[in-house]
Amino acid sequence: MIDIRIETFLTLCRLMNYRKTAEELNMTQPAVTQHIHYLENYYGCKLFIYDRKSLKMTHEAELLKKYAENISYQEKKLKTALSDKGCRQLSIGATKTVGEYVIAEHIGNFLKEDKNRISVNIDNTGNLLRALSGGNIDFAVIEGFFDRSRYASRLYRREPFVGICGAMHPFAGREVTLEEAMKEHLFVREEGSGTREILEQLLTEQNRSLREFKKISVISSFGLTSKLLCTNGGIAFAYRAAGENDPKLASFNIRGRDIVREFNYVYLDTPFSEGDVEYFDSFRQKKTAE
């Protein structure tokens, strides 16, 4: 059973406000302070400091947070394992490209086993990592960047990152310069998405920015983006898997920039998490073997 003071600590880490933490936990604010002081005395270090009236976590608090998240998650998994009647329940996350274009067959293979149950949360990288830290999902298959010092991971697959346009667009099937691409209407994902971060990194390496494109539209759904590319022209950047099965779309490359990125399982560093990843991945390997 998780110590109530650890629960208080994790809530304060999430809300970064003593009053809001007290309200959420139905406690008094002095009680929250007392719990934090107990942990600081127990571990012999300062966990929170104020910097210009803003509450900040110390390095020691970051370390304790990682440990506490892992322990809290294992407690949840233990309770689930004790209550499940022979079923294997997974709650997973997937970034949008992975969830909509990559992982469907894998999930289908998993569900062919009668005892298996699954819930899938498709969201951007930032939101999935927050769900992971909060113990709300068992693991995520992520297409973007993540903090490898905070999470465990293993490779799911590698995927080319390419330009996408309508099949009749002048760029279709070509290699173009970055300058040519920037004269186009760019459809880009919302902030926090993995594909947007990759594109922004590519531009930064060339000392360029999104603002230099002729026109920018922010669209969170690639399904809608693909329709707009076919009817309105313009370009987008995405993983090849997102457009390769649509005959109305085509891909193009930026000259001198062959970009391949990883899709990774990302999870808390616990035996339960590792076991869930291994079990889920076995259904993908079974399909490959067949």
Q: 97-106, 108-117, 190-199, 220-229 — which is least confidently predicted?
A: 190-199
Residue 170 in contact with residue 146, Cβ under 8 Å?
A: no
Q: How much is the pLDDT for 212?
A: 95
Please enumerate in sequence order all residues whose Cβ is within 8 A of that of 40, keeping only pairs 6 or more positions apart, or say none. Answer: 46, 47
Give exposure, 179-215, as e/b (b: 16+ Cβ within 10 Å).
Answer: ebbbebbbbbbeebbbbbbbbeebbeeeeeeeeebee
Q: How much is the pLDDT for 289?
A: 37
Q: How far apart are CA 162 and CA 240, in angstroms?
A: 6
Q: How far apart are CA 74 and CA 68, in angstroms?
A: 10
The 10s digit of each residue's pLDDT in 23-33 is: 999 999 999 99
Q: How much is the pLDDT for 290?
A: 38
Q: How much is the pLDDT for 224?
A: 93
Looking at per-residue confidence, does 84 or 226 come out higher?
Answer: 226
Q: How much is the pLDDT for 285?
A: 61
- Domains of the chain from N-terminus onward: 4-78 (1.10.10.10), 82-157+262-289 (3.40.190.10), 158-261 (3.40.190.10)
∠ CA 250-256-258, rounded to 5°: 55
Q: How much is the pLDDT for 33?
A: 94
121-124: long-range contacts, CB 8 A cutoff, minimum separation 24 = 121/91, 121/92, 121/93, 121/94, 122/93, 122/94, 122/95, 122/96, 123/93, 123/95, 123/96, 124/95, 124/96, 124/189, 124/190, 124/192, 124/193, 124/194
Mean pLDDT over 197-214 rounds to 92
**Share of residues in the chain with pLDDT > 70 (%):** 97
pLDDT at 287 over 50: no
Mean pLDDT over 110-122 rounds to 94
Q: How much is the pLDDT for 275?
A: 92
pLDDT at 79 over 80: no
Mean pLDDT over 17-27 rounds to 94
**Residue 251: closest CA among 169, 158, 186:** 169
**Residue 144: closest CA among 185, 190, 109:** 190
